[in-house]
């Protein structure tokens, strides 16, 4: 039970980075962050709000004209982030200045998992460890003759 809880904690604390797309068109299911052009941001104001710089979400479909995203987060030019709940938005290709894909960072996740494991082990030791001092004292406690 303890090991499964530790594994789950490490999994939930995984680190992700954004890297340039490996292909010109993202695959369905891929999580991407699209940086909008200033004109694209203005054109999409009615769908995503004013002055949006980045749109992050999961690709539903993509073609040469654009892509459909289930949006999870937007970020304004002022750095203000807003969470979304998977609302679908069509991003025309001409509205996108650049795009990156979300990837698992193996090194960062390993480092975080190691630090988390070490911290939990230290906490376990400080709070009593395995209580190995509960053995017998070597004196018989039997009946007296």
pLDDT per residue as tens, the chain (145 positions): 455 555 555 555 567 777 788 777 899 999 999 999 999 999 999 999 999 999 999 999 999 999 999 999 999 999 999 999 999 999 999 999 999 997 765 665 565 566 666 766 777 778 876 655 554 455 555 555 5
CA–CA distance, 55 with 33 (Å, rounded to integer): 6
Assigned token pair, 137: 């004292």
Tokens of 62: 């993509």
Which tokens go with 66?
Answer: 């654009």
Q: Which residues contact 55 (CB under 8 A, 6 or more apart)?
A: 33, 34, 36, 48, 69, 71, 73, 74, 89, 91
Coil, strand or helix at 90: strand
């Amino acid at each position: 039970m303890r090991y499964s809880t530790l594994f789950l904690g490490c999994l939930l604390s995984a680190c992700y980075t954004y890297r340039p797309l490996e292909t010109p068109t993202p695959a369905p299911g891929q999580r991407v962050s699209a940086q909008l052009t200033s004109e694209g941001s203005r054109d999409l104001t009615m769908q995503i709000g004013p002055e949006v710089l980045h749109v992050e979400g999961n690709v539903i479909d993509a073609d040469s004209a654009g892509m459909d995203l289930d949006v999870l987060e937007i970020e304004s030019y002022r750095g203000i982030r807003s969470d979304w709940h998977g609302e679908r938005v069509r991003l025309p290709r001409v509205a996108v200045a650049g795009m990156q894909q979300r990837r698992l960072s193996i090194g960062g996740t390993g480092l975080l998992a190691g630090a988390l494991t070490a911290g939990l082990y230290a906490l376990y030791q400080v709070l009593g460890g395995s209580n190995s001092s509960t053995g017998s004292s070597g004196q018989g406690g039997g009946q007296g003759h």
